Each structure stands twice: as C-alpha cells, then as structure tokens.
Amino acid sequence: MLNYDVIVIGASAAGATAALTARKHYPQKSILMVRDVKNVPIPCGIPYIYGTVHDPMKNLIPVDKMMSDNNIDVAVDKVVGINRESKSVSTLSGQEMHYQKLLIATGSKPIVPPFPGVKLENVYAIYKDTDYLAKIDSQLDKTKNLVIIGCGFIGAEMAEECRKKNPELNINVVEMQDHCLKLVYDNEYCELAEKALADQNINLLLNEKVESILGDDKVKGVKLASNKELPADMVILGIGCYANTELASAAGLKIGPTKGIWVNRYMQTIDKDIYACGDCAEKVSFFDRQPSGLKLASIATMEARIAGANLFDPRRVNHGVVGCFSTSLNKKAFAAAGLTAQQATEKGYSIIVGESESVNRHPGLMPGAELLKVKLIFDAGNGVIIGGQAYGASSVGELINAISAFISKQMTAEEIATFQAGTHPALTASPIAYQLVNAAESAVIKNRNARL
C-alpha cells in the first residue's frame, strides 16, 4: 500500500502542469502522478506529426524528466477506481494508493458520431495514443482519397499537414457550418482561412452533413445528406472531443451541464479533497458565467495552475474561460480571443468594432515584412474589450495573448488606445501604425460618433 499527500491522475497539459504547480507551492508534500500511457503526445502538436514533424515520437511531452527533476514520483498504470471513503485509488495492476488530496486530469476523448459505417477499417478519430497515431501515419502513405469530417482546428490543421505529406492526395473536408472555423472567427476571418486551404488544393464542402460512411470491411466513400458521394479510402474524424469523466462519475462526483466534472471557482469538486482540471472539468464563460464547452490546452494549464496551488490552501480563483486560439494555415497566422462579434450579439451585447491593418515592420521594406490585421470588439455600453481577432504575420500568435490579457483585465478602448507599446523596426509595426492601438482608437471614435 502506497501513501502520498497528492495523487494526480493524468499526465497531459493539465496533469503535468498541476503536478509541477503543486510541487512549487507545497515543496514538502509527496506527490505521485499516475498515467495510463507510456508516451504522452503534445495534444496541439498531433496534426503536425504527419507533415512537419514526420514522427509521433517527436511530438512528446517529456513527462518523466519533468517529474524526476521536480521530485515527483510517476507510475505508468491505469486508475480503475476511486474510493472516496478510504481516500484511495486502485489501479489495473492491483495497486492501492492512498491520498490526502486527489487531482483528476483525465482529459478528453474524440467524438465518434454514430454514422453508419463509422467502425469500418481506415476510419480514424484523433486519439492521444502514439501507437494509434502511427497507424494513421502509415495508412496515409497508402491513401489516394482522404475525407476529413469537420473543419474546426483539428480538421483544418490535419488537412494542411496531410497535404504536406502527400502533394498528390485528394483531400475533401466536410463541414456542417457555413464556414470553416466558424465557432472561433467572424466570417471575414473564416473566409481568409478557407482561401488558405483552397490555395493548397484542399476541397472544402461547407453546409454539408455526413449521412453515412460507405464500404464493406474497409471504407470506400462518404455519403452526404445532399446525396453527394465522396470517394474515400481513409476517413479522419475531426469533430471535437468530450470530457473523460468515467472515473469521476463512478466515484459519485457531480457532473455538470456540459458533461464535465463539476468544480467550484477553486477547481474543487463536491468532495473537498478531490480537484479536477483540464478537458475533463466543467467550465463557465468569463463573460456571463454560463456553461462553456471550450476545451483548449491553454485553458487546461490555467486551470491546473489554480488547482495545483489550491490543494491544501485556496490561493487562486478561476474567473471563467476567455478562450484564446491560434493556428497557422498556408504560412499565415490566425488567432482569436474572447467573443466573436456574432457571439457577442447573441449574448445580448451592443458592440463597437475597431479594426486596423498595417505591415508588421517599419519601414515596410524591412526583412520579414508582412500584413498584420487586427479586429477588436468592445461593449458599446462601457467600452470594455470582449473579443479580438488577428491575421497575418507569425507575431499574431503572441499578439493574441496580449488581447486575451486585455480581455481578462477588462481594459477599455480608451486604455488600449493609450497604452505604451514597445516597438522596433525589425520586430513590429511602426508606433504610428501599431495595430492594437489603432484598432482601439477606431472603436473609440465610432463609439463617440454613435453617441452624438
């Protein structure tokens, strides 16, 4: 029988971060991480193993070294039960481990819809398992016609990486929304993403629903609700994921409205000695405290830093998820934080939008000069920023983090228009043309004119 102060179940973005955070805040406590896979993929890096990185084994979180360097024990085993009365977990190998505090970070599983034919050979979801991901890689080498179902981040990135792997591959992407990435961007940014994919000879079928997957033993095609049939000797499901709450539910922990483990603002479940974070945990929106289905590594690590710090002494509060996204398609960066204009309107906001675009260097002949476009969304009533989107140069990936910080600190358009931004000819736009400031200034003027 093993006894630990803290047991963490899970070793991906949430589990690893929670264990490391607990060690920093409670240096004298004994900590054990239990994971059920030998290798832990970097979740957001999974699409890139097919075109850019070339090997699932080159896309791993170095969990063992990270834990060893921080005096955290690791067990590669599967937790099959939680006994809340005895404060213990049991594993597949027959071990029983006792805890003072338990942290559940069991992540999520890919959605596999009940399409007829979904269990045919060569139909794949994106499981976080290196052996499984290697099978996808191997099958891509034999594939001529690929259909990807879903054009959110997973679908779009998989399509681009599969194109890199095989320039001759026939790729069709089926999306039920009227735009790709519709849940993240406003239409004009979605259209830029669609062009980025189309320019790589990736065929998008928007406003289309899958009716069935065709074939006998192996997949041969995909039938759409519009009666179109697409040839396919391989199908990849990129529809999203759902919270992995099997252990928590069996232990009698409360499950929330979006089917995640219910937690309070300290990431504590209904059991005061059990915490949860990451994709398996229930979330609420930063903007209205309503349930949110967002599942992102950035959210998982934020929650993990709250949960790990709070285990023995509540020190941090979760104010809800903002949602901060970024991706790269055809060498152009796309990023968003907070609400889109459409989402804000649906939540009842009256909005003011400010936009600015300029080259990301000054003068524009400097090496690396590219267009960088910014859209900021403000509450018209109080001028507080509630969303932002950016497109163009790779620096968009960091720029969106500043926008996310503006949102979380509820900065106003006036404050953003007058904040001091550091600039340099080789690194940023001119201070005169700096996109964040000018987008905010644009919103200030629009709001002022609307009140005249």
Q: What is the pLDDT of residues 386-399, one digit of tens each?
A: 999 999 999 999 99
Taking the C-alpha atoms of residue 306 and residue 66, their distance in angstroms, rounded to an integer, is: 19
Pick from 199, 155, 192: nearest CA to 175: 155
Q: What is the pLDDT of residue 448?
A: 87
- Tokens in use for 194? 């669609």
The helix or strand, by DSSP H or E, that contains position 378, with its residue range, turns out to be strand 371-379
Alpha helices in 315-365 (DSSP H): 341-346
The pLDDT tens digits of the residues spanning 48-106 come to 999 999 899 999 999 999 999 999 999 999 999 999 999 999 999 999 999 999 999 99
Q: If you average pLDDT over every residue of the chain, what do you get? A: 96
Contact 361, 425 (CB under 8 A): yes
Round to whole Å and give the CA distance between 65 and 49: 22
Q: Tell me the CA distances in angstroms from 301 to 283, 285, 328, one per residue in order.
A: 13, 16, 21
- End-to-end CA, the chain: 73
Domains of the chain: 2-109+242-310 (3.50.50.60), 112-239 (3.50.50.60), 324-447 (3.30.390.30)
Helix, strand and coil content of the chain, in percent to the nearest 5, comes to 30, 30, 40
Query: In sequence order, what DSSP letters do the residues of 373-438 get, joined into one string?
Result: EEEEEEETTT-BEEEEEEEESTTHHHHHHHHHHHHHTT-BHHHHHTS-----TTTS--TTT-HHHH
Contact 232, 220 (CB under 8 A): yes
Q: Which pair of structure tokens corresponds to residue 145?
A: 């016609």
Residue 452 confidence (pLDDT) above 80: no
What residues pair up with 281 in beta bridges, in sequence order? 261
Alpha carbon 119 to its chain's center: 26
pLDDT tens digits, 403-421: 999 999 999 999 999 999 9
CA dist., res. 5 & res. 28, Å (int):
9
Q: Taking phi first (over 0 means left), then psi (-120 to 50 degrees means alpha), and beta for anything else, what does residue 39 get?
A: beta
- In the chain, the percentage of residues whose pLDDT exceeds 70 is 100
Q: Tell me the per-residue pLDDT of 302-355, one tens digit each, with 9 for 90 and over.
A: 999 999 999 999 999 999 999 999 999 999 999 999 999 999 999 999 999 999
Alpha-carbon gap, residue 162 to 156, rounded angstroms: 10
Residue 1 pLDDT greater than 80, yes or no = no
**Listed residue (143, 124, 119, 144) closest to 134, CA to CA:** 124
Continuous segment of H or E residues that includes residue 132:
helix 130-140
User: Whole-prediction pTM value?
Assistant: 0.95
